[in-house]
Each structure stands twice: as structure tokens, then as C-alpha cells.
Chains A and B, each alone.
Chain A
């Protein structure tokens, strides 16, 4: 029988946090590209960016805080 590899929970959550950060940055770049190139209205694009950041920034703050307590 081989040795069991155990991953500590805190490392797993920290890793998940970094993966989410990468996904978030990639998604934001894709979102920006699409609105920058295909939107008809600058105001609608700006409102979309603002709404997206207003909702997601506190969520990242909560996740970062949770990871620091784990």
C-alpha cells in the first residue's frame, strides 16, 4: 500500500483563492475586450464595469479575510 497524500485544508483553500483570482482577472479582460469592441454605448459599458467591480470587490475582500483566518 502506498502512502496516502494528505492536502491540508488551509492550503487547499489558499490555492482555491489564487485560482479564483486568476479566473477573475481572465474574465475581466474578456469582458473588457467585448464591451470595448462591440458595445454601442460608452455609458452602458462604464455602468457594466462599475456594477461588476462594486459587486465583486467586497466578495474578494471577504474571501481574502476568510483565507487569512484559515
Chain B
């Protein structure tokens, strides 16, 4: 998935892909835990981007922990 807009890959399933990705990034923004294993099973085409987002979620959690510390 190198280069390009992750939300518009000019593919027939682009809208569905966008919807799935924004549902997950929305959950991160909301502070809701994401079941990464389930998401990767459900969306193997998004595996790479999901791995990165899992890291972003951990960074968010670390920031929250630091806030409370």
C-alpha cells in the first residue's frame, strides 16, 4: 500500500475500504480499544495499515497513562 491516499485507492471496493478504515481510526480517536486480531482477520487487505494503527493506539494509551501519572 505504498503511496497514494489511503482513503481512495481508485478501486471498486474503495468506499468499503474507506468505511472500514475510518471506523477503526474513529475508534482510536474515541479512545475505544480495538480488537486488532479480529480486525486483521476481517480485513486482511488492511493488515499493514492495521499494524501501524495498532502502534498508534499504543502511543495514545501511553499518553493517557502519562496524563494520569
Specify whether A and B are partners: no
